[in-house]
Amino acid sequence: MTLLSACAPEKNRGSKATVTPTPRPSATPTPDSAPVMLASQHGVIGNGIVDDSHALQSVLNTAAKLGATVVIDGGLRVRIGKTIAVPSNTKLNGGGSTLLNATPGTGGRILTLTKVHDVTIDYINFDGEKDTHVTATEQRHNLVVAGSRNITLDRMHSYNAKGDGLYIGDQISGASVNVNVSNSLFDENHRQGMSVTGVSGLSVTDCHFGTTAGTAPQSGADIEPNSDDSVMEDIVFRNCSFMGNLGSGLLISLRKTPTAKQSAGTYIGCQFSQNKGSSGIVLVNSRDLKILGGEIRRNDRDGVAIFSAENTSLSDVSVAGNGRAGVSTTWTFSDLTLKGCSFDGNGTAEKKTYFAIDCAPVKGNKASGLLVQNCKFKDMYGGIRTNAVTSRVTLTNNGFSDLKINKQLGDDKATRVDVGGTAIPEPRG
């Protein structure tokens, strides 16, 4: 390892305990190709009191020019009084240390990545210190990625933001391209764990979005472009959890008539559970959403609440114990597909008259194209309900057990196919 250093001041460590992501072994830099600059040897004190923003900005700028990796000594509490503008070609290893948001104003951020490229940030905490900022705001995000490309964020814990733990997108700078987020926690934030407003190529793997509370929407993650021409495409979440948020676990709210491609993305093996006062997933103007595997459980309202959506599919998903319906449609939808899903014990809320799949949009809306295939329904009031607003309903090879009403169908009979429904046999002793 090549070490680029200055005179090293004595480390001053704060006494406050930090919460760090679970460390994973990092690749060891090769002696010639990856020099390292220790932040403590370039003026970063890290005692949580002294403003380290100037020193950290300086070492990041220098390291980016030299192709070096900046390493913050483990356990430091680095106070940021002025937002750090991360340059292109930055490699930052936080060593499990914590950056504290001491920036002024209602829109102060810890780090911004604006129109930069090839940035890697690893093993670091962001504490937004929201309780110290009493002025009403929802814009004090911990980390912002805007108009940037080839960004890798790994092993982060971003919490206590008086805004979002992570914000990807910017109406001025444009969509970011090829953003990868992994092994990270986003919790206890004021508005969202993560907001995405413009991206082409987003991969989120093994991340947790939880306990958002403060100001609406209060979701774990929010996929919501700011304008009709904001690009939203190639989004994939894998093995992520969205839990305990005061709003929905996942909110997808696309533009009604976009001029750029806007799609909801694919969610593989994810868990949406115990979100309070809302649903596991909420869809508004959603398009091309795929939920593959995973669980939607014990949310206060619906498992999935569809207000308006096109081309939505759930495959092999367990939908259980939600307060109202497993999947509900309120306004309009087209081409809703549910295959191989299980619906168990939904409708736990006070009324207890909810259906697992409730396709009964209010009068004046239009719903077309419901396919329910190889799904199992048990232990709740009703299985499947449709109304006269709905057409092109296909129900095949579904199983029903311990329901008061298996199917209550009021859709257009002329366009309905209903075959292969059976009672689920009781297990043998």
What are the residue boundaries of the structural domains of the chain, listed by start? 85-300
**What does the pLDDT read at residue 422?**
59
**What does the pLDDT read at residue 123?**
98
Average pLDDT over residues 329-340: 95
Query: Which of 197, 193, 125 lies closest to 163 in space, CA to CA?
Result: 193
**Lowest mean pLDDT across 7-16, 64-73, 267-276:** 7-16
pLDDT at 162 over 80: yes
**What does the pLDDT read at residue 153?**
98
Kindly state the tokens that stand for 85.
């503008």
With bands split at pLDDT 50, 70 and 90, how would you rate the model's confidence at 272? very high
Task: Name the architecture of domain 85-300.
Answer: 3 Solenoid (2.160)
Return the higher-pLDDT residue of 16 and 361: 361
Report CA 419 to chain centroid distance, whole Å: 38
Query: Which of 354, 421, 358 lies closest to 387 in space, CA to CA?
Result: 358
Average pLDDT over residues 339-344: 98
Model confidence over 88-103: pLDDT tens digits?
999 999 999 999 999 9
**What does the pLDDT read at residue 134?**
82
**What does the pLDDT read at residue 429?**
38
Return the higher-pLDDT residue of 18 and 185: 185
Average pLDDT over residues 331-338: 96
β-pairing verdict for 199-205 and 232-238? parallel
With bands split at pLDDT 50, 70 and 90, how would you rate the model's confidence at 326? very high
Other residues' Cβ atoms within 10 Å of the Cβ of residue 295: 19
With bands split at pLDDT 50, 70 and 90, how would you rate the model's confidence at 421? low
Kindly state the tokens that stand for 121.
């940030």
**What does the pLDDT read at residue 117?**
98
Model confidence over 293-305: pLDDT tens digits?
999 999 999 999 9
pLDDT at 411 over 80: yes
With bands split at pLDDT 50, 70 and 90, how would you rate the model's confidence at 33? low
Average pLDDT over residues 112-116: 97
What's the pTM value of the predicted model, to 2 decimals?
A: 0.90
Average pLDDT over residues 309-338: 96
Q: Give every CB contact of residue 417 below 8 A, 6+ residues apart in sequence.
A: 393, 394, 395, 396
pLDDT at 351 over 70: no
